[in-house]
Chains A and B, each alone.
Chain A
């Protein structure tokens, strides 16, 4: 497999706090949908919304 050209792509979700606008990147979990409410902001405890969902190649 060391010669395989296949790249592993991991899915991530970026949450944005509606109050302090801080961004938080975490692993994508099934059910994540763009622009919907997500977890609470770790800085100001305000509800975050999902700003982006994307894939990145595992380095």
Chain B
């Protein structure tokens, strides 16, 4: 009973309340900072690792005339300014132009380091450069947001970083793990589409229809199939939108079937296969837009088959479960053709994704 009025006990109760009222945010900032610092340290390690791997790869495989370190470091800091979208009309064309200009610049940049480089090595180094550049950018942005919050001593500013960090870490870890697969030319989880279509076009005559994109024409059950995939085994996704435009210009197409890897939802099984409707293609959106535009203009239905996987599975060495689905997906493609088209019709089958390690 006496304790209720004891001034010492009152002070013990009141002091923490005062402390939390006036310094609560700073305390939370300190606790959260610890977690974010760990993440930033990890991101920095990924960034440095990818840069070292890239420089080692260039030195060991491209025999550059001069030390490439400075050129690579310069490239990693290159940025891309996306077109203004206040007036969205024509924005897709502008984004496509900007992205392709950057890709062309990167290729020329690599060629200048090693003029005799072949296409497979060129695409490999280009991919490694993009990975390294992306990891550098992620580290830079997270670090900036963290330091700004700390500088301003502003707890709410650090909340978005705390919320987004686990997702960014997942992507960064996946990119960091993908380096070895790209360096050794192994197929990725994302390569399931090209793997399926690549096998379908194995014995057929192939031609390059658009930039880094291969086409084969085959007959199946009195139907004409136009098989499209990126030109393997280089690390590239090709330009299926340009290829489809060329095919549609010269032929009457009755259906398009797209096979791609797709991100699985939490709780879904990895490597599970699903069928659907609409253009199954990722990326920045310009290719999807173009394919949808062609399909709409020509009234072509688009069917799709997706193989579900995590981010990490999609950009690292293909897992056994995904590889085991290739025959199943192929038979589903043939089934889809028979179900949705009639004899005498023409169908475009597109294997979407990175075709590293997957020829045709």
Contact = CB atoms under 8 A, between A and B. Distances in A.
Interface of A: 9, 11-12, 14, 28, 30-31, 33-36, 52-56
B198 A35 contact: yes
20 contacts: A9-B316, A9-B317, A11-B317, A28-B184, A33-B185, A34-B198, A34-B232, A35-B198, A35-B199, A35-B358, A35-B359, A52-B323, A53-B317, A53-B318, A53-B357, A54-B317, A55-B186, A55-B317, A55-B318, A55-B319
Contacts of B316: 9, 55
B29 interface: no
A53 B141 CA distance: 36
A45 B171 CA distance: 45
Contacts of A30: 184-185
A56 B320 contact: yes
Contacts of A14: 323
B147 interface: no
A53 B202 contact: no
A9 B199 CA distance: 26
Contact of B322 (A9, A11, A33, A54): A54
The listed residue with most A CB atoms (<10 A of its CB), out of B202, B316, B318, is B318
B316 to A, nearest CB: 7
Interface string B297-341: 000000000000000000011111011101000000000000000
Contacts of A34: 187, 195, 198, 232-233, 357-359
Contacts of A54: 187, 317-320, 322-323
A12 to B, nearest CB: 8
Interface of B: 184-187, 195, 198-199, 202, 232-233, 316-320, 322-324, 326, 357-360
A14 B324 CA distance: 11
The listed residue with most B CB atoms (<10 A of its CB), out of A30, A36, A55, is A55
The listed residue with most B CB atoms (<10 A of its CB), out of A14, A31, A34, A54, is A34
A35 B186 contact: no
Contacts of B320: 12, 54-56
B359 A36 contact: yes
Contacts of B358: 33-35
The listed residue with most B CB atoms (<10 A of its CB), out of A12, A28, A33, A36, is A33
Contacts of B198: 34-35
Contacts of A35: 198-199, 202, 358-360
Nearest to A25: B320
Contacts of B319: 54-56
Contacts of A56: 319-320
Given A34-B233, A35-B198, A35-B202, A53 B359 contact: no
